[in-house]
A = this chain, B = another copy of it.
Amino acid sequence: MFENSTRTELGDLGEFGLINHLAEHFVPNLPDTVCGIGDDAAVFDMGDKYGLVTSDMFLEGIHFDLTFHPIKHLGYKVVAATLSDISAMNGIPKRILINIGLSNRFSLEAVEELYLGIKMACEKYNIDLVGGDTSASPKGLFISATALGEVEKNKIVYRKGCKVNDLLVVSGDVGGAYMGLQILEREKRVFLEHPTMQPDIERHDYIVGRQLKPETRTDVVDLLDSLKIIPTSMIDVSDGIAGEIYHLGKQSNVGFDIYENKLPIDPQTVEQAVEFGLNPSVAALNGGEDFELLFTVDPKDYEKIKGNMDLTIIGHVTETPGKYRLITASGNAFDITAQGWGVIAE
């Protein structure tokens, strides 16, 4: 299976590299496994419908910081972020299992707050918490969540499937969660240096909320259904649009052009990006955790999409695999990479 015998550092591969490396060795064998590793959720045949299942991890010190993340909001976010992968398959979330490892720093009351947030999210999205394991943890708070959902067989949407000239659409606005995180981390630094200062986050309530208590766009899945639109490909924006179009493009063997002046960015996001000396488009393209849906539709669906306040056409599919471009208002084109973009000659 794995032949080499030297020591290779994991950092040399990165997360996607590691997953891709391992996934090669785990091709599904069962006839009722419709899709294994490699999309937002795995797909299995339930008879009339497809079942969907996806799992995510949330580690203290890696994925969240309890010095500014209220633990109740964290509980809500864990559910929303995990369900987002079900929405990304055009599916309906149904159930969740949550495993929690806790160091002895946590009291029962803190755990109850966490579960209060989990419960609020379960009620919001009409899902059942059906299981999970609890354990002592050697350090900090560790959370692993697995969501189950389902989808009509003719309505499933994968990362692959889009065609040249399909329109690229994103729900809501992007970049807010990232700028919210920048503010929270700045205020944490200020607090550590000047413990008596009050944090300056109220005027940024929208983007701070995007970071601390994001939503799954189950409403967008419902909206698409009511508009009788089945996207040709879809993914959720957990790692930033720049990273997500890479996944869509790779699996569909296409490229994308995105129009900078079409990117839906909230005024608070713009204001904060400028304050941090950042191009707002950078936040919009590379900021993660917005949990919006990014999808492609057949051009014939243009009329159905264009009137919706909550859906923005930001670009289209091109015939050049691996080529992802940002087109500025002045017509310049920049190559987009998963971590930013560079000027190209054109």
A residues whose Cβ falls under 8 Å from a Cβ of B: 1-2, 4-13, 15, 18-19, 21-22, 25-26, 28-30, 32-33, 35-37, 41-42, 44, 46-49, 51, 53-57, 59-63, 94-95, 97-99, 101-102, 104, 106-109, 111-113, 115-116, 119, 122, 126-140, 142, 144, 146, 148
In angstroms, Cα B144 to Cα A62, docked, is 16
Contacts of A97 in B (CB 8 A): 42, 53-55, 146
B109 touches A8 (CB 8 A): yes
- With A46-B46, A130-B44 as known contacts, state yes or no: A135 contacts B15, CB within 8 Å: yes
Among B10, B37, B44, B95, the residue within 8 A (CB) of A106 is: B10
In angstroms, Cα B55 to Cα A94, docked, is 16
A33 touches B95 (CB 8 A): yes
Among B13, B25, B46, B95, the residue within 8 A (CB) of A108 is: B13
Q: Interface residues of A: mostly helix, strand, loop or mixed?
A: mixed
Tell me the nearest residue of chain B to A43, going by C-beta.
B130
Contacts of A98 in B (CB 8 A): 55
B108 touches A18 (CB 8 A): yes
Tell me the nearest residue of chain B to A48, going by C-beta.
B47
- Among A35, A42, A57, A130, chain B packs the most CB atoms within 10 A around the CB of A130
Q: How many copies does the complex hold?
A: 2
In angstroms, Cα B128 to Cα A21, docked, is 17
In angstroms, Cα B2 to Cα A56, docked, is 27
Contacts of A12 in B (CB 8 A): 108
B37 touches A130 (CB 8 A): yes
A30 touches B127 (CB 8 A): yes
Q: Can you pick out 28 interface pairs between chain A and chain B where the beta carbons lie within 8 Å of each other?
A: A1-B112, A2-B115, A2-B116, A4-B109, A7-B108, A10-B104, A10-B107, A11-B104, A13-B108, A21-B108, A22-B111, A26-B122, A26-B128, A36-B131, A42-B95, A42-B97, A46-B46, A53-B95, A54-B97, A55-B97, A55-B144, A55-B146, A56-B99, A57-B99, A57-B101, A57-B135, A59-B138, A61-B138
Contacts of A135 in B (CB 8 A): 15, 57, 59, 62-63
Contacts of A131 in B (CB 8 A): 36-37, 41-42, 53-55
Contacts of A51 in B (CB 8 A): 46, 51, 148
Q: How far is the CB of A223 from chain B (nearest CB, A)?
A: 22
Q: How far is the CB of A222 from chain B (nearest CB, A)?
A: 17
Tell me the nearest residue of chain B to A123, going by C-beta.
B29
- With A54-B131, A128-B26 as known contacts, state yes or no: A5 contacts B109, CB within 8 Å: yes
Q: How far is the CB of A148 from chain B (nearest CB, A)?
A: 6
Contacts of A21 in B (CB 8 A): 108
Across chains A and B, which 10 residue pairs bring their CB atoms closest together, nearest first?
A144-B144, A42-B130, A2-B112, A8-B108, A146-B146, A28-B128, A61-B138, A46-B46, A47-B47, A139-B139
Contacts of A115 in B (CB 8 A): 1-2, 22, 25-26
B30 touches A133 (CB 8 A): no
In angstroms, Cα B63 to Cα A132, docked, is 16
B46 touches A47 (CB 8 A): yes
In angstroms, Cα B59 to Cα A53, docked, is 23
